[in-house]
């Protein structure tokens, strides 16, 4: 069984102290549910995609990144063997998750009809035995909620995830929509006996609301400013302002930074009714040119230093916080 001192990676195990500089939320490969039905999409070329991901890992290693956490839920094209291939070819440590996406964008039929204990048992199996026949174990559990309210489906999955996290002693990482429902996530998982400091409330930079951010750190959870470069949601300068403000108020030990970048797509990204991205690379270059996983080190670190965040605090955020979150023994 995993435990506080052993983290499962896609190629083996490590300890929290070995994680080093960590990006907590990035993706090697993503496909929205039903991507395989989109026969109009360009063919997925596995070798090209792998080479692209390995090249990205080498660029991150040049910035000192040692661990890449890809919290792809089961229903978003998760391919842990592909992750292992990329990890082996690049030398980057990669950690994958079990867990499912939020109701609106997930693949919901089976889990909607399974009882909460079955879902918890499925998550536990993926953590303690492995995913499918691969033998690759999930290192933690992904939870997700939609915008503004937690649906019954999502509540059940959060409860299942919390039970599995408690039994297997692994952390939880979340998706939120537009910076909502973070406090609900904390409430649901702590009600199942999981301490708030085992949860990283992701995408909390989806809203420019300092009071919301303080509800999350005040609730004892880690807070993800993990969509750096997605300026179609909010400008990075707003994120930098809010990060610097949390640091000034003494909350640096709660903050995790990442981009939610996507290195390769299965099918065409579909962003809403009729909003189909035929060429993701061209779309990113046009609409959010800074959305790549080295952006933190190249453009955000200098902005944070200018905003008064010292280097040792940046090291706390990128190197120490992920290790403390995984080790679980200590609240931030």
Smallest distance, Zn ion to C-beta of residue 133, A: 26
When the beta carbons of 70 and 247 are compared against Zn ion, the nearer one is 70
What is the torsional sign of CA 42, 45, 51, 54? positive
When the beta carbons of 75 and 260 are compared against Zn ion, the nearer one is 260
Smallest distance, Zn ion to C-beta of residue 113, A: 26
Smallest distance, Zn ion to C-beta of residue 27, A: 6
When the beta carbons of 293 and 332 are compared against Zn ion, the nearer one is 293
Smallest distance, Zn ion to C-beta of residue 295, A: 15
Smallest distance, Zn ion to C-beta of residue 87, A: 18
User: What is the binding site for Zn ion (CB under 5 A)?
Assistant: 260
Smallest distance, Zn ion to C-beta of residue 329, A: 27
When the beta carbons of 162 and 230 are compared against Zn ion, the nearer one is 230
When the beta carbons of 154 and 260 are compared against Zn ion, the nearer one is 260
Smallest distance, Zn ion to C-beta of residue 262, A: 8
- Neighbouring residues of 185: CB distance < 8 A, sequence distance ≥ 6: 143, 145, 150, 158, 174, 176, 199, 201, 221
Length of the chain: 332
When the beta carbons of 246 and 263 are compared against Zn ion, the nearer one is 263
Smallest distance, Zn ion to C-beta of residue 266, A: 14
When the beta carbons of 189 and 263 are compared against Zn ion, the nearer one is 263
When the beta carbons of 107 and 169 are compared against Zn ion, the nearer one is 107
């Amino acid at each position: 069984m995993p435990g506080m001192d052993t983290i499962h990676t896609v190629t083996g195990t490590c300890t929290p102290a070995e994680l080093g500089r960590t990006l907590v939320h990035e993706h090697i490969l993503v496909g929205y549910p039903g991507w395989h039905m989109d026969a109009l999409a360009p063919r997925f070329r596995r070798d090209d995609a792998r080479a692209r991901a390995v090249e990205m890992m080498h660029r991150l290693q040049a910035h000192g990144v040692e661990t890449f956490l890809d919290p792809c839920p089961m229903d978003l094209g998760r391919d842990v063997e592909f992750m292992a291939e990329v990890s082996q070819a690049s030398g980057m440590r990669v950690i994958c998750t079990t867990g499912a996406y939020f109701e609106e964008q997930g693949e919901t039929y089976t889990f909607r009809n399974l009882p909460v204990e079955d879902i918890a048992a499925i998550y536990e199996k993926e953590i303690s035995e492995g995913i499918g026949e691969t033998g690759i174990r999930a290192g933690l559990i992904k939870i997700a909620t939609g915008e503004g309210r937690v649906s019954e489906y999502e509540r059940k999955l959060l409860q299942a995830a919390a039970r599995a996290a408690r039994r297997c002693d692994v952390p939880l990482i979340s998706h939120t929509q537009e910076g909502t429902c973070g406090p609900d996530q904390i409430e649901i998982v702590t009600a199942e006996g999981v301490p708030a400091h085992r949860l990283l409330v992701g995408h909390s930079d989806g809203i420019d609301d300092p009071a919301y951010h303080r509800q999350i750190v005040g609730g004892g959870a880690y807070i993800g400013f993990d969509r750096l470069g997605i300026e179609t949601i909010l400008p990075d300068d707003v994120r930098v302002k809010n990060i610097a403000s949390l640091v000034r108020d003494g909350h640096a030990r709660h903050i995790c930074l990442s981009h939610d970048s996507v290195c390769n797509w299965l099918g065409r990204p579909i962003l809403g009714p009729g909003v189909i991205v035929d060429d993701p690379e061209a779309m990113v270059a046009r609409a959010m040119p800074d959305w790549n996983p080295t952006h933190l080190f190249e453009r955000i670190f200098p902005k944070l230093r200018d905003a008064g965040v010292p280097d040792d605090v940046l090291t706390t955020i990128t190197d120490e916080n992920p290790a403390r979150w995984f080790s679980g023994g200590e609240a931030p």
